[in-house]
Amino acid sequence: MEGKGGDQEAETVDIGSPLPCPNTVTIRRNPYRRARATPINDPQCYNSSISKLREVPPFPHEEILSAQNLEDAPSQPSSTSHGKLGSENIKVFLRIRPLLNSKGPGNPGSVDDKNQRLRAKNAWPQNPTKKNISGREKNVKKISRVCMMVNDSHSVTLSTPIDSQDSKKIKSETYGGFSYVFSTDSSQLAVYERMVKPMVDDFLSGKSGMLAALGPSGSGKSHTIFGSPREPGMVPLALQHIFKETEARTNQALGSIYISIFEIYSERGKAEKLFDLLRDGCELSMQQSTVKGLQEVLISNAGQAESLIAQAVLKRATATTNTNSQSSRSQCIINVYQKCEGALSAPSNCAVLTIIDLAGAEREKKTGNQGTRLLESNFINNTLMVLGLCLRSLLEHQKNPKKPLQKHFQNSLLTRFLRDYLEGKKRMTLLLTAKSGAEDYVDTSYLLRQASPFMKIKYDEIEPSNIVPSKRQYQGSSTGEQTKLSSTLGQAKRMRLVNREDSNEERNVKELHISKKDAPRACKLEANSRAVKSECDSQTQSDRSHIIMQNFAKALWNILKQYNAKLKDAEMEIKSLRESVGHEKEKYLVLETEMNEFKAFCTCHKGREGCRIYNQEAFDAQASSLSRLQHSDNEPTLGTSCALLDVEKSDRKGGVCSSRPKHHNTLEVKGESFLPTEFNDSLSLSNDEKLGISSPIDVSSTKAYDRAGYRPDDPNVSDQSNDKLILLTGQDTNDAEVLSEPRLDHSYDESITSTSCTTLDTEKSNRKGWANSSKPGKHVSSVVESKRLTEFIKLPTAADEMLEPSSPRAVSSTEGCDQVGSKHSGRKVNNSCNIQKPNMSVMFKNSPLPTDETLEPSSPRAVSSTEGCHQVGSQHSGRRVSNSCNPQKAKRRLMPSTSVLLRDLSNLDLLDETTASKGRKGTRKLAADDVKRTDGSISLIRMLKSNHHL
């Protein structure tokens, strides 16, 4: 109800003469806060409700009170107590520009007129019956054109215009908390008295302040700040007031008054520029927050000041827009300085009163600006946005000190200049200007929404602007001086008291000066008081800094403690993790070992290499016998051929020395003497075409062989991928017989373990692709004739299966054996391996070295498998042998006695299917029953027989 009364108040100006006040009036001194206006959906209802409200106007106690106190002193500013320290909110005023067709105020200078107008506004009780209906309708029409209504002197209600009402939108919003709301009929003087006069008083008492007018274009900023000759604005009025005071205080130690006016303008939207409006638009520069080269003109009287201001306003950049015939295109800043002379000319005593007429925010839609005007609009809006950001950041920082104060001020010259104000170091006053017309609803709403939160900005303790705290002040204070905190706080309080007392003293001095007119004394006292005040300020500052530092140190200490605790926790965690990792590692090692063993097992079995690994003793014995054999016979034997193999290299590179010299002892084969030609051919140990395997044999291996002290029997020249190493174990080296017949059988896709097999440089083979080097057609598989061998050595069927070629995995299998071979001296190869042509070494030497073409790399799987096998240490080899090869079992089952062997050999029919076997070269696999004797096998049998007969 009261809110609507406020609406009526705006209308009563136009209604006519007010009615007399009643004799008895009850005044509510502390009025309750008005409720938010009820949204009105129906326009008719809205209008009718307004009409009803008009019938019962509220009691305008605020206006009555303000009218009573207007002439005395500004009640609102007094509450801010400019002289005292403490929490103080920023002052935000709102001035509503009257509608253009509304009647303007009367003579603003006349107090009678003012009172009359006030009475007219506050007329109560009015007799509604006296008003005719036509007048009421007229008022309703007017109201419908207004979007903003004054609730009281501190709040307004903004109503959505009927035209743009949407059922979903909020119909009205109330904005309160303003320092004061100047209604449409407020005069310039009234505005000055309430808003600027207190600032001027502060200025005269040596305190800086700033007033900035902001609002949409055409809302009356320039009118308020500069005014017109008829209605002087805040700047002329302030200067008048200052000089009035100066004259009144002729003998006081007031400083000289200087003035400077400059503008910040962006021509065509380019970089911002500063122009001195008192020096024919001289361009200026800004260094940090200081304008360089700005002329400060000494003012001796108000008339001179007004003249200068008028000239400056004429130089200011303005243009005609749709919203304002003389729209400001720049931000205009007026500074009034009070510079003290002599001893009091310290910077702290130089007060500055800054009044800023900002360019108005513009909406392109409304202004219809184009080209230069549009670019100017952008600059203006950007500057206002930056200003808004600075104020918002300050507010947020004050609400939550943990939030840092953003440095938005760097983004425009205006905000850079106003840095101290925007950081809350100096007092600031905002004047919001708005238009109440319905067509201005959007602009007004935006302004109020954006700026009303700024009312919460506080100045806890205003610092003297020019005093920079010395760092040395903090050096004496240590973090351990917690006990001093309370005393310091007490001291600070005392300092505040002193400050207040000083303020009182200052007032007393003034009174004394006025009453007794003792100018010299008053001046002295004034000077003393200022000096004391300055000291107090600096001391207070020092104490404050000290407290801040102590608090900071405390906070830091707490944080450090927290971090320390966290660090300890983390250390404990790491410790426990380490322990668990150690356990896991152990488990992992065990698992790895087991896996390697398993892999080795798999390698031997799955690799179908048929590795039978001799034990170390057997191998050594065989090696030594082989060595003897070689030394005794200058002719190269199988051992000789093996000597071609680089044992060392094979060891290093994973070569397999699987043939057993021991067999030489048993067989006592002397290479050339008993090696049949066809066997040699079939073996093709040195023949690439037949074997495709001679290449891996390192010709230079003789040396290594010698070094090794034994002579590996047969080079395993087989294709690694298809390799089948038959290592017949035999602890009893005498009994150990390696029986194997070379077989030109490709069905098994095997290469010649029997003929080669020894020091395979497995790694090399892997690298160079032994696995794929031998083609099926080139295989000369001198393999033990399966059927007979099965009978002969009683290999189980599984063993046969095990001997199946395995292609790529064979390499890994070989290497798996190799790893073991270093200790267990490799594998036993069948006898055919040991049989070597006497000139084998020569042959090997002359044989071409393997090329990359022939040594195609095997599958990667094979390599990886190799590595896995390499990891298996020799220590596991025994186990592996027991798992996969089982020497005892082999001895029992696989190691027939020599006599049995020879007896069986004698039974072999050498002429058996010699020719037929040739036709089966191309077959991939032969059935066990269908094994035919090859040339090589026949040769081998012959050889064995001849040997037997020997």
Ligand X SMILES: Nc1ncnc2c1ncn2[C@@H]1O[C@H](COP(=O)(O)OP(=O)(O)OP(=O)(O)O)[C@@H](O)[C@H]1O
Which residue's CB is nearer to ligand X, number 221 or number 241? 221
Both structure tokens of 591: 């698992």
Instruction: Name the nearest CA neighbour of 894 among 662, 727, 757, 782.
Output: 727
CB distance 431 to 195 below 8 Å: yes
**60, 236, 360, 607: residue in contact with ligand X (rule CB under 6 A):** 360
Q: How many CB atoms lie within 10 A of CB 40?
A: 19
Minimum gap (Å) between residue 328 Cβ and ligand X: 3
Which residue's CB is nearer to ligand X, number 232 or number 850? 232
Site string for ligand X, 449-488 (x = CB under 6 A): ----------------------------------------
Minimum gap (Å) between residue 108 Cβ and ligand X: 9
Residue 613 per-residue DSSP state: B
Minimum gap (Å) between residue 432 Cβ and ligand X: 11
Query: Which three-class secondary structure state does DSSP give residue 339?
Result: strand
Q: Is 221 flagged in the annotation as binding?
A: yes
Minimum gap (Å) between residue 429 Cβ and ligand X: 17
Which residue's CB is nearer to ligand X, number 192 or number 748? 192
Distance CA 29, CA 32 (A): 9
Task: Please return the burial class of 79, using the count of CB atoms within 10 Å of its CB with bins 0-12, 13-18 and 19+.
Answer: exposed
**What's at 323, amino acid-wise?**
T
Count helices and strands (H / E) in the chain: 39, 18
CB neighbour list of residue 636: distance below 8 Å, 6 or more residues apart: 630, 643, 671, 672, 836, 837, 838, 839, 840, 841
Minimum gap (Å) between residue 234 Cβ and ligand X: 12
**5, 198, 218, 838: residue in contact with ligand X (rule CB under 6 A):** 218
Minimum gap (Å) between residue 112 Cβ and ligand X: 20
Which residue's CB is nearer to ligand X, number 259 or number 359? 359
**61, 117, 207, 223: residue in contact with ligand X (rule CB under 6 A):** 223
Instruction: Tell me which stretch binds ligand X (CB under 6 A): 44-52, 210-218, 271-279, 811-819.
Output: 210-218
Query: Which three-class secondary structure state does DSSP give residue 256?
Result: strand
Find the length of the chain: 950
Instruction: Tell me which stretch binds ligand X (CB under 6 A): 26-34, 116-124, 220-228, 238-246.
Output: 220-228
Q: Does 194 bind ligand X (CB under 6 A)?
A: no
**80, 155, 174, 222: residue in contact with ligand X (rule CB under 6 A):** 222
Both structure tokens of 62: 């605020």
**What's at 144, amino acid-wise?**
S
Distance CA 377, CA 114 (A): 37
Q: Is 219 flagged in the annotation as binding?
A: yes
Distance CA 209, CA 201 (A): 10
DSSP string, 751-796: --TTTTBSS--HHHHHHHTHHHHS-GGG----PPPHHHHHHHH---
Minimum gap (Å) between residue 317 Cβ and ligand X: 10
Distance CA 363, CA 769 (A): 80
Which residue's CB is nearer to ligand X, number 116 or number 898? 116
Both structure tokens of 807: 């292609």
Task: Tell me, by CB under 6 A, how many residues bind ligand X.
Answer: 18
Which residue's CB is nearer to ligand X, number 324 or number 830? 324
Query: Which three-class secondary structure state does DSSP give residue 684?
Result: coil
CB neighbour list of residue 477: distance below 8 Å, 6 or more residues apart: 484, 546, 549, 550
Q: Is 114 flagged in the annotation as binding?
A: no
Which residue's CB is nearer to ligand X, number 224 or number 830? 224
Which residue's CB is nearer to ligand X, number 217 or number 627? 217
Minimum gap (Å) between residue 194 Cβ and ligand X: 14
CB neighbour list of residue 702: distance below 8 Å, 6 or more residues apart: 643, 644, 841
User: Which residues within the stretch 314-343 sit at the binding site for ligand X (CB under 6 A)?
Assistant: 324, 326-328
Residue bearing tokens 């404990």: 572
Minimum gap (Å) between residue 277 Cβ and ligand X: 15
Q: Does 221 bind ligand X (CB under 6 A)?
A: yes
Minimum gap (Å) between residue 235 Cβ and ligand X: 13
Which residue's CB is nearer to ligand X, number 106 or number 176? 106
Site string for ligand X, 94-113 (x = CB under 6 A): ---xx-----x---------
**139, 219, 839, 877: residue in contact with ligand X (rule CB under 6 A):** 219
Instruction: Tell me which stretch binds ligand X (CB under 6 A): 219-227, 248-256, 409-417, 542-550.
Output: 219-227
CB neighbour list of residue 167: distance below 8 Å, 6 or more residues apart: 41
Q: Is 220 flagged in the annotation as binding?
A: yes
Which residue's CB is nearer to ligand X, number 373 or number 778? 373
Q: Does 220 bind ligand X (CB under 6 A)?
A: yes
Minimum gap (Å) between residue 359 Cβ and ligand X: 5
DSSP string, 180-247: EEE-TT--HHHHIIIIIHHHHHHHHTT--EEEEEE-BTTSSHHHHHTB-SSSB-HHHHHHHHHHHHHH
User: What DSSP element (H or E) covers 63?
Assistant: helix 61-70
Distance CA 376, CA 362 (A): 10
Which residue's CB is nearer to ligand X, number 216 or number 696? 216
Distance CA 418, CA 409 (A): 8
Minimum gap (Å) between residue 101 Cβ and ligand X: 12
291 Cα distance to chain centroid? 39
Instruction: Tell me which stretch binds ligand X (CB under 6 A): 221-229, 345-353, 480-488, 634-642.
Output: 221-229
Q: Does 217 bind ligand X (CB under 6 A)?
A: yes
Which residue's CB is nearer to ligand X, number 224 or number 740? 224
Q: Is 216 flagged in the annotation as binding?
A: yes
Bind-site residues for ATP: 215-222
Interface residues with ligand X (CB under 6 A)? 97-98, 104, 215, 217-223, 324, 326-328, 359-360, 433
Bind-site residues: 215-222
